[in-house]
Structure 1
């Protein structure tokens, strides 16, 4: 027999950002709980709104699965004494399994005889186990918890009601002095308290009380309302999926409406208008159907039906008008001041207590920008453009607009820079230097923007790590992981010929000559390099590179990141290539023997055999060619592959570990030097070569 069960946690409104993860936890933890209890079921469905989390278990077995289990005990020689009687070990084993020594039988396992018992575990009635769902409720984690009243329990928001239902019977349990029942609540203003007598009625009963319990259906209702407004007003409403996702978790019964604002506000940069609508009011901007120009309208999502909708629209318009009026005022006031005013104010803005002010940070970024630009041998005009962008990179932080709308940092820097007559590429670089804003976010397009972005991020990473602000767990207040990934992605995108280690060296070099003095720079350099190495491994993994290949390529440093990734991708192919087998075997053998070398200097006069001299001559040619390498990973590997036959001939015709010390050391030195060529490409001994198995 099967039945259905329903559990619901009723709460005060949860933050939208908590809901999706909490619903996923509810689904996963419930499935794991039922599995651990050996209770079969047909289907799990979860629900969420700002005021509830719920799970419907369909086709739930009314009885735990009864199992028969064979349990192995100690070896027979331990279970019996010399007289053949059962020892305390055997008696204790059977007692622990709820059996007696009469239930013991023996059988061999890998040549040793052990004692066994058959354990029969009778399935319990499911209903008796369901009150344990309380533990699922208590185990759900949220981004931030709170206490309420006299409660010691911490949760996202206060629990107001609990539903526990199996068939038509209430499952009894209690959390935070709230007892379970079959009563739930509809929409806060439009609904009432209702009884659920059958778990499958849950979704329908709530819909009658103006609650769409399924988050995906609620999202579909939001989209339907938006598309209806598009058709009615012949406009285009771009769907920001991040905003859509948030809005669906802010309401229980969505109602889309179209509001408007004064056309004069369109003179403000549209980014300001969109941020005001999206980030502060959760509105969708409206554009024309043809050219995509921004229109003086917005779409909001109300939590309710269309009752008194005109009043709601007017209220929202009033709120937006006040915010846009502030933005217009800030915009006008900012443009009355000069760039030098904003730059001077940076001297009073602290970046980090031990790392100085933003003004001091900008000074370091300017120098580092010039050093990186010069390394790439850019034209002087490009260097000057990048340096100017670095000089102006943070000026907008002291503007009234960015002080009020922090999301506009960089954006307003570009707008104001153009207003003050700066070069268009310089202005663009000011905005771009904040990119990427997320680990996989959009990268800068301009060279100046990319270099300033790298310099700014390197300065932050090196400085914060040097003053012991290394991220721990999920705690990364300065976004150092994201910024390091950003630096590596920019190197990859531009295929720039510079090592990560060189960039770190230049950054610490700038700190050494700045007003901020970092202690133990050598130790800091090691930690920073290791930090970037972990981020590089992450990017390799995201690119589908296997862990052993990652370790082989990044075994000593990152180097030129683009080059390193190309080597990893090539070796991932070669590991399964049968034609590479001889090369792989030769390289691995060389590296293993090279570890025994005591001398690293080859004496050509001690090369006695033809195969020795052939290998040495081939090594010299490849070593010289490697010094002028183009940086092409495939070309480098093909060059190394030329050593394959000479290596095999060498091993076939010579004994490396001969008794004669001079000859032995010289042969090991030859292998060591060849090994260094291979090792600098990758430590192939770390690779699990598939064709070897």
Structure 2
């Protein structure tokens, strides 16, 4: 037999729909398991007005249960042969009687126990309790009180369908009684649809202008877009994030193509597409050459009155584009660089100062990086990029809050139109990159250095004034900022020592702002290091990273060393070398030795001499590259192996023993400069 549970609701915000469906399925699965009710599968559905599950092949009753509960020890349960309060409490908690008590024994002693046979109850008698629990466990970002009871939900619940094996399962919640009656689309279908059985649920709704399956609805959107809007050579841009939202705005999708005045195509394309996608939930349309057109595609419920709906939406988008064009034209009347002074009035954070002050700090940070990386030929462009990087924040297009997503992009547009160097203009946009996981990275040095300077100022400043991220909150996106710095440094192969950079930035910040936190440099360095581990963990094992993370502070050099170790780790010799070095470390870790005073005249074995020769040779190779030194260590690990096989460290002669430990200590000091095992 099957069971259908549908929750009918006033229209949910699109962002709630997926989670509501997933929560319903997950919670009912867990509760059925808790109640020992078996089933074969659970299918889930959702639209803006309902979310539901069909439990397939649900068992007719709970499984029987042989329950054995162990209580307190005999000494605690009884006193003078009479049950104590602890003993009585245990019996009561098991819904048992004194006659049910048994004594069991294990390795810890004797305990009272109660064994019970619990016969399974009919599923139809258990389900109402389960449904009540499920409804109270479903959570939303925001809830509202919608009845005279204390229960809160995202939107008022309007109906329940509870159908078990073709029969209505009696259920009532907050005064709403369940039935076998569901509802079609609000306008174009019946509002009283009797469901005969669970299996026909999807088919019956589809016949009443509702597609309950999210995946089917998504495909219906794509098919409708193609069939209705792409037959004339146009190509509709269906972005995944917008598709995921639109699929939860409609119950029976139908695509319509509308138009707006071609005059607005003089605007930057991103302004037009954001107006369509973000403000109106329209899909942009390209011509056969990939150029943006003055058309858009909207997805609405069903196809009735399509011409009226089309004209209405065309009237809506025109004023939005008119506002955007007005803002854009007004911005072009002002010199873009003049906006930088207006940043003195824009507070970044009360303890960190204005955006203007932040730009000034970023300029000083950039000068340090330029000097460290010897980028003097790019200095003029990099500093100009930073000077203008935040200037678009006070433009009309961004400042009016309509197009805040375009910060950086609009800066690039204005800079290009007013004759700035092409790399400077591009760098203004790129200094925000990456903005999210998987985003592109800067292609210009201008964008890379400007972005690193801006991000590290934010990170250090926030820590300095006590705005550290927690496990649940990171309002200034400091994790993303550090990750961005690391990814850009690796991509552009910038030899940045992150510890030295952090200390420099902290000193720059402290010149004009109060550092509220003591010992903050260590916290920032550790925070940076952890993000570095996270980024590198996508490429290298945690073990390899642990060998170098505390030795190498240069981001790109660290990555290079890990790539060398990763290649060597593919050989059998590598594991042997690691084990040998761990053995050396364990032997000397508690010994008070310097590693300096090795007396060769105390050598008794040839293997001691060979190991000492290797140590000397290794000491003489200080100028060699990391690659050469690690390969040399790897290929000579047999010398260490032979030493352990043939030399007894703990010689009865204490002087000889000490000498051998001194030699191992000297070896370990060399190794510690290369890898930290």
TM score, norm. by length of structure 1: 0.87
Deviating more after overlay: 238-247 vs 146-155:
146-155
Q: Please tell me whether the aligned partners of residues 49 and 213 of structure 1 are also in contact (alpha carbons under 8 angstroms).
A: yes
Q: Please tell me whether the aligned partners of residues 268 and 328 of structure 1 are also in contact (alpha carbons under 8 angstroms).
A: yes
Deviating more after overlay: 354-363 vs 439-448:
439-448
Cross-structure match for 1:687 = none
Q: Distance in 2 between matches of 1:308 and 1:258?
A: 14
Decide which of 441, 447, 452 is 1:454's aligned counterpart: 452
Deviating more after overlay: 268-277 vs 563-572:
563-572
Q: Distance in 2 between matches of 1:124 and 1:553?
A: 61
Deviating more after overlay: 231-240 vs 216-225:
231-240
Q: Distance in 1 between matches of 2:450 and 2:555?
A: 19
Q: Please tell me whether the aligned partners of residues 102 and 113 of structure 2 are also in contact (alpha carbons under 8 angstroms).
A: yes
Q: Distance in 1 between matches of 2:508 and 2:609?
A: 49
Deviating more after overlay: 564-573 vs 33-42:
564-573
Within a 5 Å distance, the mapping from 1:60-459 to structure 2 comes to 60-68=58-66, 120-131=117-128, 132-148=130-146, 150-191=148-189, 192-289=191-288, 291-302=289-300, 304-378=301-375, 380-403=376-399, 404-459=402-457
Deviating more after overlay: 260-269 vs 482-491:
482-491
Q: Please tell me whether the aligned partners of residues 256 and 301 of structure 1 are also in contact (alpha carbons under 8 angstroms).
A: yes
Cross-structure match for 1:598 = 592
Please give the secondary structure, in 2, of the residue aligned with 1:211: coil
Cross-structure match for 1:640 = 633
Cross-structure match for 2:464 = 466
Unaligned 5+ runs, structure 1:
685-693
Q: Distance in 1 between matches of 2:95 and 2:602?
A: 73
Q: Distance in 1 between matches of 2:270 and 2:320?
A: 14
Q: Please tell me whether the aligned partners of residues 143 and 153 of structure 2 are also in contact (alpha carbons under 8 angstroms).
A: yes
Q: Please tell me whether the aligned partners of residues 500 and 560 of structure 1 are also in contact (alpha carbons under 8 angstroms).
A: yes
Q: Please tell me whether the aligned partners of residues 598 and 669 of structure 1 are also in contact (alpha carbons under 8 angstroms).
A: no
Q: Please tell me whether the aligned partners of residues 553 and 682 of structure 1 are also in contact (alpha carbons under 8 angstroms).
A: yes
Q: Please tell me whether the aligned partners of residues 235 and 288 of structure 1 are also in contact (alpha carbons under 8 angstroms).
A: yes
Deviating more after overlay: 416-425 vs 620-629:
620-629
Q: Please tell me whether the aligned partners of residues 602 and 659 of structure 2 are also in contact (alpha carbons under 8 angstroms).
A: no
Within a 5 Å distance, the mapping from 1:22-41 to structure 2 comes to 22-41=20-39
Residue 59 of structure 1: how far off its partner (Å):
1.1
Residue 364 of structure 1: how far off its partner (Å):
1.1
Q: Distance in 1 between matches of 2:597 and 2:18?
A: 69
Decide which of 33, 45, 48 is 1:47's aligned counterpart: 45
Aligned residues: 667
Q: Please tell me whether the aligned partners of residues 553 and 683 of structure 1 are also in contact (alpha carbons under 8 angstroms).
A: yes
Q: Distance in 2 between matches of 1:520 and 1:663?
A: 52
Residue 232 of structure 1: how far off its partner (Å):
2.7
1:74–1:349 Cα change, 3 Å: closer
Residue 491 of structure 1: how far off its partner (Å):
2.4
Q: Distance in 1 between matches of 2:407 and 2:77?
A: 79
Cross-structure match for 2:611 = 615
Query: 1:400-427: per-residue Cα shift (whole Å, max 9, x none)?
Result: 0112310110110111111111110111
Q: Distance in 2 between matches of 1:60 and 1:544?
A: 46
Q: Distance in 2 between matches of 1:416 and 1:277?
A: 22
Cross-structure match for 1:536 = 532
Residue 506 of structure 1: how far off its partner (Å):
3.0
Within a 5 Å distance, the mapping from 1:480-559 to structure 2 comes to 480-513=478-511, 515-520=512-517, 523-543=519-539, 545=541, 547-554=542-549, 556=550, 559=553
1:225–1:128 Cα change, 3 Å: same
1:670–1:510 Cα change, 3 Å: farther
1:453–1:604 Cα change, 3 Å: same
Q: Distance in 2 between matches of 1:559 and 1:445?
A: 24
Query: 1:608-644: per-residue Cα shift (whole Å, max 9, x none)?
Result: 2154454344234334535542x54xx4532322452
Q: Distance in 1 between matches of 2:601 and 2:581?
A: 21
Residue 269 of structure 1: how far off its partner (Å):
0.9
Please give the secondary structure, in 2, of the residue aligned with 1:138: helix
Query: 1:76-120: per-residue Cα shift (whole Å, max 9, x none)?
Result: x99999xxx99999999999596988997989x899999998753
Unaligned 5+ runs, structure 2:
none
Query: 1:161-191: per-residue Cα shift (whole Å, max 9, x none)?
Result: 3333323343344444444333333222223
Residue 442 of structure 1: how far off its partner (Å):
1.4
Query: 1:519-560: per-residue Cα shift (whole Å, max 9, x none)?
Result: 346x21222122223323333444473x55554554x36733
Q: Distance in 2 between matches of 1:179 and 1:670?
A: 84
Cross-structure match for 1:589 = 583
Q: Distance in 2 between matches of 1:105 and 1:674?
A: 63
1:604–1:488 Cα change, 3 Å: same
Deviating more after overlay: 523-532 vs 184-193:
184-193
Q: Please tell me whether the aligned partners of residues 465 and 517 of structure 2 are also in contact (alpha carbons under 8 angstroms).
A: no
Q: Distance in 2 between matches of 1:402 and 1:442?
A: 22
1:487–1:650 Cα change, 3 Å: same
Residue 561 of structure 1: how far off its partner (Å):
3.8
Q: Please tell me whether the aligned partners of residues 68 and 115 of structure 2 are also in contact (alpha carbons under 8 angstroms).
A: yes
Q: Distance in 2 between matches of 1:157 and 1:643?
A: 71
Cross-structure match for 1:690 = none
1:156–1:118 Cα change, 3 Å: same
Q: Please tell me whether the aligned partners of residues 392 and 407 of structure 2 are also in contact (alpha carbons under 8 angstroms).
A: yes
Q: Please tell me whether the aligned partners of residues 331 and 401 of structure 1 are also in contact (alpha carbons under 8 angstroms).
A: yes
Q: Distance in 2 between matches of 1:116 and 1:681?
A: 61
Residue 389 of structure 1: how far off its partner (Å):
0.9
1:26–1:654 Cα change, 3 Å: same
Q: Please tell me whether the aligned partners of residues 8 and 53 of structure 1 are also in contact (alpha carbons under 8 angstroms).
A: yes
Q: Please tell me whether the aligned partners of residues 540 and 566 of structure 2 are also in contact (alpha carbons under 8 angstroms).
A: no
TM score, norm. by length of structure 2: 0.89
Q: Distance in 1 between matches of 2:322 and 2:88?
A: 85
Query: 1:272-308: per-residue Cα shift (whole Å, max 9, x none)?
Result: 111111111111111112x211111011111x22222
Q: Distance in 2 between matches of 1:86 and 1:551?
A: 61
Q: Distance in 1 between matches of 2:663 and 2:168?
A: 81
Q: Distance in 2 between matches of 1:590 and 1:200?
A: 69
1:464–1:58 Cα change, 3 Å: same
